[in-house]
Structure 1
């Protein structure tokens, strides 16, 4: 295995596996709707990053040339959307998977990463720092896209399953509301970090 590829994997595992807006939303969805009912949302989030990887890797989008206005606009749109999803799930009451309320959809998941400037910067960093300089853009995309996809396919469901696992153990107890408040607070803090970031 090439050293650059091993470094890329370590970088992506640390970035994708760490707490952030997407992972907190996955926990919240698993908490309320269970793992199986949340799977379309999980898959939507996983697929959504592909919409960013290809334009960056192929050089169609160059973040270094992006205007400050565009970056700020993306930042606030991302914060607003994540805040919308967080507020929508804030009044979570852990219920069984037979609940009639609809879980977040595949299409809602598709919007999460493209609106998140941090996701764009993570992919730009991966492309600039862990891909050999002499690698052709299309080859770089072929390396990045499946690597992101596989790591997300492993780590994102774990966060959602964690929410479902916790729900099975605290549903109907005094800890139920406390856990929901903690997850939503972490989500809102991640939104605040997006807004305050340079």
Structure 2
């Protein structure tokens, strides 16, 4: 693995991590409801979800999933349904990791936020496609594959953590507005609409051609 290859992988992965999506919305909501530090439960959930997809890609299992129309469709439609469920819940201000609230005692955090964040990330087939399509391009078969995968894996998780920490920090900066009922309602409705839009876009994702 050359430094040029690593740099391209680093920049590409950083851009993907920073691109807004359902996981970013979740972390922003966590920052607004729970503050920056308590958002790390959700950030950890997203990182674990990506680590699972990375491990599957490294072992070739993800490629098999993508190659199977049935398995890929199951993952995709579970993700679509889950995003719509979260979107409707946010619009109706039902408690979830994606719902903004000004009452810290009602905010979803801890392990519940961790699991919801991980499910949101795992239900996104774009992450699966990304690792299957990208990772093999940077592996040098002439060098120890295990060491390269370890470096790429650590880099991916590190960039994930940094990107979503930024989103959580930005969300926490608006925490003082959560005392305003109108602001909370508008935030939840906007988040809900964006989640359902993400679900609709996810429904159009197709598996890679083989």
Q: Please give the range of the TM-score, normalised by the shorter of the 2 chains.
A: 0.7 to 0.9
**Corresponding residue number in structure 1 for 2:45:** 44
Matched, 1:59 2:60: yes
Size of the alignment, in residue pairs? 197
Q: Which moved more, 1:83-92 or 1:112-121?
A: 83-92
- Tell me, in whole angstroms, the C-alpha distance in 1 between the residues paired with 2:198 and 2:185: 20
Pairs within 5 Å for 1:108-127:
108-127=116-135
Q: Contact between 1:28 and 1:163, CA under 8 Å: does it hold in 2?
A: yes
Q: Which moved more, 1:112-121 or 1:123-132?
A: 123-132
Secondary structure (helix, strand or coil) at the match of 1:19 reads: coil
- Coordinate RMSD, CA, aligned: 2.4
Q: TM-score, normalised on structure 1?
A: 0.85
Q: Contact between 1:23 and 1:159, CA under 8 Å: does it hold in 2?
A: yes
Deviation track 1:10-56 (CA, whole Å, cap 9, x = no partner) reads 11111110111111121122223333333212211112211111121
Matched, 1:95 2:96: no
**Corresponding residue number in structure 2 for 1:143:** 151
- Tell me, in whole angstroms, the C-alpha distance in 2 between the residues paired with 1:65 and 1:22: 21
**Corresponding residue number in structure 2 for 1:4:** 5
Residue 129 (structure 1) aligned to one of 125, 137, 140: 137
Secondary structure (helix, strand or coil) at the match of 2:151 reads: helix
**Corresponding residue number in structure 2 for 1:78:** 79
**Corresponding residue number in structure 2 for 1:165:** 173
Q: Which moved more, 1:40-49 or 1:8-17?
A: 40-49
**Corresponding residue number in structure 1 for 2:17:** 16
Secondary structure (helix, strand or coil) at the match of 2:62 reads: coil
Deviation, 1:167, is 2.7
Structure 1 portions without partners, runs of 5+: none
Deviation, 1:119, is 0.8
Deviation, 1:93, is 5.2
Q: Contact between 1:42 and 1:106, CA under 8 Å: does it hold in 2?
A: yes
Q: TM-score, normalised on structure 2?
A: 0.81
Deviation, 1:136, is 4.6
**Corresponding residue number in structure 2 for 1:29:** 30
CA distance 1:142–1:86, shift in 2 (3 Å): same
- Tell me, in whole angstroms, the C-alpha distance in 1 between the residues paired with 2:135 and 2:100: 41
- Tell me, in whole angstroms, the C-alpha distance in 1 between the residues paired with 2:47 and 2:150: 16
CA distance 1:113–1:63, shift in 2 (3 Å): farther
